[in-house]
A and B are shown apart, each in its own frame.
Chain A
């Protein structure tokens, strides 16, 4: 069973960010209460970015699990162009989805908006992909090619209400950014003593590695004349 917020067998630990705190606050919220947000998002995709569904047409019946590791939910995307759905769930049986994409929510949003490179995220292990790689690659390409800007898309869809929404969202993002800086300061402060110990250990390991290398070289050099003598 894939469950939201870092409960996937203890393998995926979410980063310490404001989104993690939001996730903790949302633990008691029923997924069904959030579903209208994701319904609106799919309506927006159908209206403003139909090319995503067009590119996903060969995989219309493939359900993809999107797992934001800092939230207590998972999302299930069914990209059928005739009836696309994005369902928010507390958990999902792995057999229900052909593939899973797992990462921090902010990373997933940045990926959807084309602000970060999906391959680079995967190579650096900030993103986890499991299951049918073809479907995930198709989804990544389809979303990246759509030129999504979530805030702008929502604001535009709201018509005359878009302007105040942009202003409120801009202010909220500013607060969020400041909060992230503060949390990072707290995090650095908390781990500083541990890092000092790690730095000392790293230096010791580096010194030992250099010593082993020198000894190996010395042993090789000593073995050479011995082999020559036998030849």
Chain B
């Protein structure tokens, strides 16, 4: 175990849904920015979001000119008979000079490894690989260099995992929306809307979301299902089924997870001690004000830990979902 002050410098991997957000992330101190193409090949296929080929070309130029890397997420699962779209995404990302590809589908990983053996490949959280045998398989067979870990492991488990999978790097989520399901395998969105993050690149698509203002507050609906009702003074949330408030045995409560945001700023020393290579901030669908605020906070946090100083107490409440924060599974007090 190394002390935080002598640990290698972890990368800060930041989200960008638009070129302006990418510039905000780089200017705020991101080491890497992850992006996606404007289609269903990535898990944030939201309306009005993402990059054209030309925009990605310019964005890579901007980032590289300032010492930052660009990672391209192609992390949905190709539809049968339509793999060309995903193959083109891989070819174009490599051709435009992306520093790494973030992939989930085993067939697409095989395609990238065979066609572009020089490309650096990262395993997306969508692949849900969370044990040494699974990660070693991807590394041995396809040369995967880094795995983005599912948000279900404790810090202790991550430290133990790192001991077993070296030299494969680990990347963990440190801030943002919290997916509590087995990522890449969750069908809740499909059940309610017919579309999922796994194939269509969108969880609880906005086209199926409705907010209804009433005298009592606001009702959020997904695919016609009422997901939540918020009082007038209560912070609202996006209607995903896993964060819905349902009535069971006469009592309304959150059955899976509350609308809340992951925030591990105070845990950065432990995560660095655990040997994590990269810290990932969720939120390609969020605006550049969010990107700038979170990246600045985590840049300060990481730099402080590496300099042997305490983590600064930075208030990120105003940009969290539901106005609430959690350390998620990293500290499983409920286990």
Contacts of A141 in B (CB 8 A): 17-18, 46-49, 285
| From B24, B235, B290, contact of A125 by CB (8 A) | B235
B48–A137 touching, CB < 8 Å: yes
Q: List 6 A-B contacts (CB under 8 A).
A: A116-B289, A124-B235, A133-B211, A140-B287, A145-B17, A145-B20
Q: Mark A133-171, 1 if CB is under 8 A from B, else 0.
A: 111111111101111000000000000000000000000
In the complex with contacts A114-B289, A117-B286, A141-B48, A134-B20 CB distance below 8 A: no
Question: Is A118 among interface residues, defined by CB-CB distance under 8 A?
Answer: yes
Question: Which A-B residue pairs are the 7 nearest by beta carbons?
Answer: A145-B18, A141-B48, A138-B48, A138-B47, A134-B207, A147-B20, A117-B290
**Please, how many residues of chain B have a CB less than 8 angstroms from a CB on the other chain?**
41
Which stretch, B1-9, B104-112, B307-315, B316-324, touches the partner chain A? B316-324
Q: How far is the CB of A137 from chain B (nearest CB, A)?
A: 4
- Max chain B Cβ within 10 angstroms of own Cβ: one of A114, A123, A125: A123
**Given the complex of chains A and B, what is the CA–CA distance between A128 and B186 in angstroms?**
30
**Given the complex of chains A and B, what is the CA–CA distance between A11 and B235 in angstroms?**
17
Question: Is B19 among interface residues, defined by CB-CB distance under 8 A?
Answer: yes
Question: Is A129 among interface residues, defined by CB-CB distance under 8 A?
Answer: yes
Contacts of A118 in B (CB 8 A): 287
B213–A130 touching, CB < 8 Å: yes
In the complex with contacts A123-B235, A141-B18, A144-B18, A130-B47 CB distance below 8 A: no
Binding site for B on A (CB under 8 A): 11, 55-56, 58-59, 111, 114-120, 122-125, 128-142, 144-147
Question: Is B295 among interface residues, defined by CB-CB distance under 8 A?
Answer: no
Considering only residues 11-29 of chain B, those with a C-beta below 8 Å from chain A are: 17-21, 23-24
| From B19, B233, B318, contact of A145 by CB (8 A) | B19
In the complex with contacts A124-B318, A142-B48, A134-B205 CB distance below 8 A: yes
* A147 and chain B: residue at smallest CB distance: B20
In the complex with contacts A114-B288, A130-B211, A130-B213, A123-B323 CB distance below 8 A: yes
Contacts of A122 in B (CB 8 A): 236
**Given the complex of chains A and B, what is the CA–CA distance between A148 and B237 in angstroms?**
27
In the complex with contacts A120-B290, A125-B236, A145-B18, A134-B47 CB distance below 8 A: yes
Question: Is B304 among interface residues, defined by CB-CB distance under 8 A?
Answer: no
B289–A115 touching, CB < 8 Å: yes
B48–A55 touching, CB < 8 Å: yes
Q: How far is the CB of B195 from chain A (nearest CB, A)?
A: 12
Q: How far is the CB of A172 from chain B (nearest CB, A)?
A: 24
Q: How far is the CB of B180 from chain A (nearest CB, A)?
A: 18
Question: Is B206 among interface residues, defined by CB-CB distance under 8 A?
Answer: yes
Q: How far is the CB of B262 from chain A (nearest CB, A)?
A: 15
Question: Is B153 among interface residues, defined by CB-CB distance under 8 A?
Answer: no
**Given the complex of chains A and B, what is the CA–CA distance between A118 and B293 in angstroms?**
13
**Given the complex of chains A and B, what is the CA–CA distance between A135 and B285 in angstroms?**
14
Q: Mark B43-77, 1 if CB is under 8 A from A, else 0.
A: 00011110000000000000000000000000000
Contacts of A124 in B (CB 8 A): 235, 318, 323
